[in-house]
Structure 1
Amino acid sequence: MMPRRVAITGLGMVSPFGGSTQDFFQRMLAGESAVTHYETDDKPHGLSLPAVRCTQFEPTDRIPRPVLGTMDRFAQLGMVAALEAWDHAGLARSADNPAAGVAWGTALGGTLVFEKSYRDLWLNGQERLPPTAVIKGMNNAASAHIGIALGLGNSCLTYTVACASAAVAIGEAFHRIRHGDADIMLAGGSDAPLAYGVVRAWEAMRVLAPGDVETAYRACRPFHAERRGLVLAEGAAALVLEDWDHAMARGAAILAEMVGYGASCDHTHLVRPEEQGQVRALRQALDQAGLAPEAIGYVNAHGTATREGDPTEIRALKTVFGAQAEHLAVSATKSMHGHAMGATGAIEALITVLALQQDAIPPTAHLDIIDPLCAGVRHITHAQRGTGLSAALCSAFAFGGSNAVLAFKAFNPV
């Protein structure tokens, strides 16, 4: 059969600002940072670092209390984002929908429940754990809860691919619809990485950006000459992917079209990014989309603000786009919403879809001095509106050398 077209018909997220998805995107366009200073009183040494937290998140508004008690925070975040996306798509809830499935990404799964269990056993003298600890902690908890809540009877799969998890989940969901294996896929990701042990592990790698109460908001500065590292964030986002004809037949509002997905492995190093692996993923996405490099008007870059990662990504873009690279609009929105690990690819895919729908490109915040090693593309430092944006890429390049690139086009009913 001919590959089917894939529409994006719904978006949902848990915003660190506490408002709606549209409010979140407007804040991205304004260059507003969600990064604040985070402190804990953990023993023997509390945490003190810039971070992004969803402090206004209240899951009891959307999740029944009996179900809530069986979920770790990452699954709660994911459920709320997924329900919002489903409702936004105008889809009814069903007891059994065999043509609809879920594809979810998480890098860490239920880390918080495991950490609490260790504390209870080793520090608090507790001898037993609740039986719900197992189902709270499993990585596929979010996808399972989403599938149950919405009666999704097609595939229910979870992808754990470090910070490419959600991008891979969206890409694989795209393939299921494109190849006729499903009509609708609810795809996205969620993570809650601010567990004490997780933060300490990242600190040991010396890739977290420093900052205090006054400076935390600008701690993450991708492509900046003085960048110091990434900022951890919790969060969740979801997209509804739908067979084009199915969406048109039910009169759905199509937000954008997903047209390509590239995936590759650097196969060189666990943590050091490699240009050629990224090039392969970028070219795969373009080839599958049937798009020439000059057709791309925007790239939502992986851009984590690490010393090695940012220049590598720019070199890959310059290799793929050639002479066109200097005109290519590029921004790294992690400068505002932080790095939500396995959820990041979904958050940035959501931003890319809204950029196409509203013809508005968000900036890389705080980018007043571009590192010469990151030069050669058109860095967006203030929102760009009305440029006629028609196609865009969203990149996720993970530890382990796992790369995923998603390609989208603006809605065209033809």
Structure 2
Amino acid sequence: MKNKVVITGLGALSSLGIDVDSMMYRLREGYSGLVPSSIGGYSTALGYLHPAFLTPEDSGDLSKDKGTLMALEVAKQAVSQATQQGNIPFFFGHEKSESESQSFRIGVFWGVGLAGAHWLDRNYAEFCRDREDSRPSAWTIPAIMPNAPAAAIAIEYKSRGACMSLANACASSAMAIGEALLALERGDIDIAIAGGSDASLLPAILHAWARTRILARNSPDSADHASRPFDVNRNGICLAEGAACLVLEREAHAWQRGAKALARLAGYGHCCDAVDLTEPAALGQAYAIQKSLQHASVPANAVSYVNAHATGTRKGDAAEMMALHQVLGAAFSNTPISSVKSALGHTVGAAGALEAVVSVRSLMERWIPPTTFLRNIDPHFSDAYLVKGQGIEAPNIDYVLSNSFGFGGCNASLVFGQP
């Protein structure tokens, strides 16, 4: 019999704030974290991290990339919340040597999009101006490894269990959370630090994104309205930076130490489209959604809210709606659906984790967030229950389905429930 898994801690950094509470407050108030930007004449909007977050230069730690520092910050927030609960402290860190054996019962599962982007940009500009005499920092290789964030978290909290890094584009952190769930269900570990981080809003990378022609053009209203999933006028994605973390525990372990469960992680489904490197496929997405519901033993009509992947591209939004229609069936038209990317921007490797945090808080607050700047619903989606405006109060919310789909045909779906 598999172990049940609960969430006991949350952490977040986004364009809307430097912690979970500030992010959720601004999301409720209808703010956008997007700002007008121009990339070589391509007018769009981007979601930079809230300026209160310290950069590597500000912090004085030049041995780590910005994305790794972001990962450490959100892990700190989530671990702090988890350890402040309960009457039996759980080993986190090296000050309690008598609990050393417990460190093998902690795992780290982390998702990334592009690793080390800020490090490369800063260090090669500083040390490699002369190609004949390029001398990059000795920290370069450790700083740009895709597993650098996960390793940094494991070292910080002496987590000697699994340390897994996933790089599956926009599905990375959702898959990291899902893999943590599987490890906890098997009993391999007692506790997991899971999430993702992405920091890659840099000129060279942004110019490459602009060349794909899938970045949103500025909205007629204002730049902060540029991200419009499900809208008839949607025209692309708005990139952003962010990070988020969840502390997951076996339910029995949380009970034993007297910790409060914020929510339950009940299901995980994943698959690959195996169709195209960049074009979404509804069939694969539907399979991942169906598998997550089966894993959770939750019928389609029990889903109270769908936190959609929906990035605001024409084909992407349409494919997801087709997948949801296929899986939810008769319940489709009565199931609230929204995308918080309209306010947060698309954080790529961190998107699944940030949306997981929003999903958990939706369950806790019994409130369903809107697609903030949805104005004119695409007629093709007229039979869908698309949430806009100020969101909706949901006193009977039981299960949230959170979708993440990425380049390479990577699909992941998570099911969260009341504790």
27-36 or 389-398, which deviates more:
27-36
288-297 or 377-386, which deviates more:
377-386
Structure 2: give runs of 5+ residues left out of the alignment. Answer: 84-89, 95-99
1:55 Cα deviation after fit: 3.7
Deviation string, structure 1 residues 177-205 (Cα, Å, up to 9, x no partner): 01111100000000012122211111111
Contact 2:311 2:317 in 1 (8 A): yes
Instruction: Quote the Cα distance in structure 2 between the aligned partners of 1:46 and 1:117.
Output: 26
Letter in 2 for 1:107: G
Instruction: Quote the Cα distance in structure 2 between the aligned partners of 1:26 and 1:13.
Output: 13
Instruction: Quote the Cα distance in structure 2 between the aligned partners of 1:127 and 1:20.
Output: 39
Contact 1:37 1:212 in 2 (8 A): no
Matched, 1:300 2:307: yes
Letter in 1 for 2:295: Q
324-333 or 87-96, which deviates more:
87-96
Aligned partner of 1:116 among 117, 122, 137: 122
Instruction: Quote the Cα distance in structure 2 between the aligned partners of 1:70 and 1:213.
Output: 43
Match of 1:179 in 2: 186
Instruction: Quote the Cα distance in structure 2 between the aligned partners of 1:400 and 1:372.
Output: 29
1:253 Cα deviation after fit: 1.4
51-60 or 92-101, which deviates more:
51-60
Instruction: Quote the Cα distance in structure 2 between the aligned partners of 1:117 and 1:19.
Output: 26
Deviation string, structure 1 residues 127-173 (Cα, Å, up to 9, x no partner): 21110111111111111110111111101110000010000000000
Letter in 2 for 1:28: L
Letter in 1 for 2:73: V
Classify the secondary structure of the residue corresponding to 1:98: helix
Match of 2:317 in 1: 310
1:120 Cα deviation after fit: 4.0
Letter in 2 for 1:145: A
Deviation string, structure 1 residues 341-378 (Cα, Å, up to 9, x no partner): 10000000000000011111000011111112233220
1:212 Cα deviation after fit: 8.0
Letter in 2 for 1:71: K
Deviation string, structure 1 residues 290-344 (Cα, Å, up to 9, x no partner): 0000000000000000010001100110111111100010000000000001000
Matched, 1:58 2:65: no
1:84 Cα deviation after fit: 0.6
Match of 1:395 in 2: 403
Match of 2:109 in 1: 103
Aligned partner of 1:409 among 387, 395, 417: 417
Instruction: Quote the Cα distance in structure 2 between the aligned partners of 1:329 and 1:30.
Output: 19
Letter in 2 for 1:245: A
188-197 or 17-26, which deviates more:
17-26
Matched, 1:73 2:66: yes
Q: Tell me the percent identity.
A: 35
Deviation string, structure 1 residues 200-247 (Cα, Å, up to 9, x no partner): 111111000122897210000000000010001001000001000000
1:117 Cα deviation after fit: 4.0
1:39–1:271: structure 2 CA closer, same or farther, 3 Å change rule?
closer
Instruction: Quote the Cα distance in structure 1 between the aligned partners of 2:245 and 2:128.
Output: 37
Letter in 2 for 1:336: A
Contact 1:193 1:341 in 2 (8 A): no
Aligned partner of 2:291 among 271, 284, 287: 284
TM-score, scaled to structure 1: 0.93
Letter in 1 for 2:93: S
Aligned partner of 1:82 among 55, 64, 75: 75
1:311–1:375: structure 2 CA closer, same or farther, 3 Å change rule?
farther
28-37 or 236-245, which deviates more:
28-37
1:267 Cα deviation after fit: 1.0
Letter in 2 for 1:369: N
1:368–1:46: structure 2 CA closer, same or farther, 3 Å change rule?
closer
Contact 2:128 2:135 in 1 (8 A): no
Question: RMSD between aligned alpha carbons?
Answer: 2.0
1:47–1:272: structure 2 CA closer, same or farther, 3 Å change rule?
closer
1:19 Cα deviation after fit: 4.5
What are the within-5 Å matches in structure 2 for residues 1-400 of structure 1? 2-38=1-37, 45=40, 49-59=44-54, 65=60, 68-90=61-83, 93-95=92-94, 96=100, 97-120=103-126, 123=129, 127-211=134-218, 215-382=222-389, 383-400=391-408
- Count of equivalent residues: 403
Deviation string, structure 1 residues 53-103 (Cα, Å, up to 9, x no partner): 114243489x974xx221101101111001110001115522241100100
Contact 1:258 1:407 in 2 (8 A): yes
Instruction: Quote the Cα distance in structure 2 between the aligned partners of 1:123 and 1:132.
Output: 18
Contact 2:169 2:406 in 1 (8 A): yes
Letter in 2 for 1:233: A
Structure 1: give runs of 5+ residues left out of the alignment. Answer: none
Contact 1:29 1:361 in 2 (8 A): no
Deviation string, structure 1 residues 29-71 (Cα, Å, up to 9, x no partner): 232211112358xxxx58863101114243489x974xx2211
Instruction: Quote the Cα distance in structure 1 between the aligned partners of 2:236 and 2:55.
Output: 35
Instruction: Quote the Cα distance in structure 2 between the aligned partners of 1:296 and 1:205.
Output: 35
Contact 1:143 1:158 in 2 (8 A): yes
TM-score, scaled to structure 2: 0.92
Contact 2:42 2:210 in 1 (8 A): no
Contact 1:31 1:362 in 2 (8 A): no
